[in-house]
Structure 1
């Protein structure tokens, strides 16, 4: 466990963030391996189906992840203030509250899967594969909920290592099962979805077992199930607002995906590969922002505003340094990276994918700052500000994507809308920070 209320701020954040970064790399391996296996061994159509379905999956799971992230802030604040009874009540309340929402979400997603696919311009030849993939992944949402709530509990007390260990094992299982189900049993898209769901189930079970042993005072005995109305309102406020922020962000991405789909399967496949590269490339700064949120929340609970300011200065330096390196590497080796996803014979898909990377990768520092602002305002409890930044970023992106893609820029207009949205949100986040002298 890491107490972030004392010691070198930036070192503590980095120490806490590193297991989160490594863990998320392995979590990304779930869908990354799916993409590589499908693209290499099933075909371009299947890659486009999985890639465009993934945008829908991310939107649905972002609701659950956002709920658990919001709860994590409350738990970190209670932990920083050493209010362990409230910590226990908040944990139990969150399990019941978010668990019920997850079940409802699964029912709605399965019931409306056909209209969802139609809404986002899924080509008719891809609908069968996309539907098969989505149905299996949706069934696994219960594992997504259990794992992410367990992770929120552990990270709130400063333990970001154990979730990493569970994900490493789960990711290895996913890789093996992907190859077995696709190459040996010829299950195609269904195979990679089943492999992913099984792997998520493993990580959820392991995380649950560890949380029960690490935090034995959190139990579900009859006398311990207490729903404090004040804490329930707090849990609902933080979790719903954070979930709204995550959902708005991914809904915007989903709308853009629908626009991409209108350009045909070649552009869809290139965009699918490009988005996967993005998700790996800037994931470390995303996790750094989440770690920063825990740092801010603990110090807010301990009433140490000066440490929060110190953390902001260190975070800016870290983000600039990391993004400078990763942007350069991806820009220089863009073709080699695309060939990991696409067969070398698909030259047009590769060309479009490189075009996407060339536009977006050099601006990763902008989304790095945006994740920092998300973490800052979430940790401070200013959840509405995080939502406003998301609306500015994604709203700009969606509007510009439709406007620019209708010009001679075509699909590349969609690519350029992404960094412009990041930049505008960063400017707003910085103005609010300076104005309020946080």
Structure 2
């Protein structure tokens, strides 16, 4: 029998707003880079940084499961008061993130070549884009370890600490961007080095904060390399991994097709994608709040609590869509001028800016529903929705790309709408007989 509970809008808001801010801070390193270099008026550098930021956002998206899963395992271990599982909810993803980061560094040459091909970077931008990537790629281990650190803190309910770490790293990035670029004139290399230092600071400050909460025992050495634990970790995340691959295919296809209409359109699309990333992470923060509340309801086998959490998710989602569209419309010029001072690039960006106004309405609920399904521990509907949306995107793009870059954006908007509709219908079909929660953690130790 389920135990009824009351979930209020105030509870949802108190949980959601710090998570939204924490989520938005994730892509701001790349956004800050684009904004800073934009103040130089160097169109080549602006385009190069914008493409470089998309390159890294795209790669790191693929491994976003490190943060999501660490949050879940950390929260689960905390609930069950399992000290060993709690430590390994951090240690294993940290080791995994560090190793994946090293592999990315070792494969930097083919990764760069493949990425620039898929993003169709113009010949004139290649030297600056390559410079940016060459510096920032060494931050890969720190970025992925940082995912684990932040996920572990959030899973422990230490959202404010995670938020402070991200604010601190963004402040470092801003200060160093100004010093290296606007002060010393280091250009693209200065921007990349500033971001690299900021990425390192997330890990350093995170472990400093967590120092007293961690412990190491002799028996941990063998447990750290427990193959079955990593196998289960990847099994849990297989659907999310597939989902992310299709998301990356859409991003690459979108960017490459837009590049066929010239370097100015490519740079404008890259700037608009930076704005889209911030919007997406806003809704991702709301989705994280939904994950926590839905997960609690599932753990209590509380169908009424689930229904209330879902209702609040939709209410906050609608409010966010209205707020987002209003802000984007009123501050269009201000937002675009943050990224560039080049009149031509501003005009081209403004020409396609209307599609950014539509994005929250069509794509916002997809990210909210992903949070709901994450709380229910059901990733297959999320995977299936992404595959279906990818097919919609491809069919639309192949049918209408000839009308120009507007056709590319229309296909992208159709992609977001297909995701939202697919997940909405999947939720309506759910069997809401919640399983009795297991007393043991899902993370083997």
- Normalization by structure 2: what TM-score? 0.88
- Tell me by how many angstroms 1:172 deviates: 1.4
- Tell me by how many angstroms 1:128 deviates: 0.9
Candidates 359, 364, 371, aligned match of 2:367: 371
Q: Which residue of 2 aligns with 1:297?
A: 295
Q: Which residue of 1 aligns with 2:256?
A: 258
Over residues 322-354 of structure 1, what are the superposed CA-to-partner deviations in whole Å (9 max), with x where a residue is unaligned?
1112102212332332222222632xx323322
Q: 1:413 to 1:236 in 2, by over 3 A?
A: same
- The answer as to whether partners of 1:59 and 1:247 remain within 8 angstroms in 2 is no
Q: Which residue of 1 aligns with 2:443?
A: none
- The answer as to whether partners of 2:66 and 2:147 remain within 8 angstroms in 1 is no
SS in 2 for 1:103: helix
Q: Which residue of 1 aligns with 2:64?
A: 65
- The answer as to whether partners of 2:66 and 2:144 remain within 8 angstroms in 1 is no
Matches within 5 A, 1:270-281: 270-281=268-279
- Tell me by how many angstroms 1:83 deviates: 4.5
Q: Is 1:423 the equivalent of 2:417?
A: yes
- Count how many residue pairs are aligned between Structure 1 and Structure 2: 427
Q: Which residue of 1 aligns with 2:244?
A: 246
Matches within 5 A, 1:400-415: 400-406=396-402, 409-415=403-409
Structure 1: gaps (5+ residues): none
- Tell me by how many angstroms 1:152 deviates: 0.8
- The answer as to whether partners of 1:90 and 1:235 remain within 8 angstroms in 2 is no
Q: Which residue of 2 aligns with 1:384?
A: 380
Q: Which residue of 2 aligns with 1:193?
A: 192
Q: Is 1:223 the equivalent of 2:219?
A: yes
Q: Which residue of 2 aligns with 1:41?
A: 40
- Tell me by how many angstroms 1:249 deviates: 1.4
Give me the whole-angstrom Cα distance separating, in 1, the residues matched to 2:238 and 2:216.
23
SS in 2 for 1:211: helix
Give me the whole-angstrom Cα distance separating, in 2, the residues matched to 1:299 and 1:341.
42
**Which piece of structure 1 moves more, 65-74 or 140-149?**
65-74
- Tell me by how many angstroms 1:183 deviates: 2.2
Q: Which residue of 2 aligns with 1:28?
A: 27
- Tell me by how many angstroms 1:318 deviates: 0.5
Q: Which residue of 1 aligns with 2:337?
A: 339
Q: 1:373 to 1:67 in 2, by over 3 A?
A: same
Q: Which residue of 2 aligns with 1:125?
A: 124
Q: Which residue of 2 aligns with 1:177?
A: 176
Q: Which residue of 1 aligns with 2:158?
A: 159
Q: 1:305 to 1:134 in 2, by over 3 A?
A: farther
Q: Which residue of 1 aligns with 2:437?
A: none
- Tell me by how many angstroms 1:235 deviates: 1.6
Give me the whole-angstrom Cα distance separating, in 2, the residues matched to 1:234 and 1:381.
14
Q: 1:65 to 1:418 in 2, by over 3 A?
A: same
Give me the whole-angstrom Cα distance separating, in 2, the residues matched to 1:429 and 1:181.
45
What CA RMSD, in Å, does the superposition of the two structures yield over aligned residues? 2.4
Q: Is 1:309 the equivalent of 2:327?
A: no
Q: 1:233 to 1:375 in 2, by over 3 A?
A: same
Q: 1:142 to 1:101 in 2, by over 3 A?
A: closer
Over residues 296-322 of structure 1, what are the superposed CA-to-partner deviations in whole Å (9 max), with x where a residue is unaligned?
334434443432222111000001011
- The answer as to whether partners of 1:64 and 1:144 remain within 8 angstroms in 2 is no
- Tell me by how many angstroms 1:390 deviates: 2.0
Q: 1:204 to 1:247 in 2, by over 3 A?
A: farther
Matches within 5 A, 1:98-137: 98-137=97-136
Over residues 223-280 of structure 1, what are the superposed CA-to-partner deviations in whole Å (9 max), with x where a residue is unaligned?
2242556543332222343333234313321221111222211101211221222223
Structure 2: gaps (5+ residues): 433-445
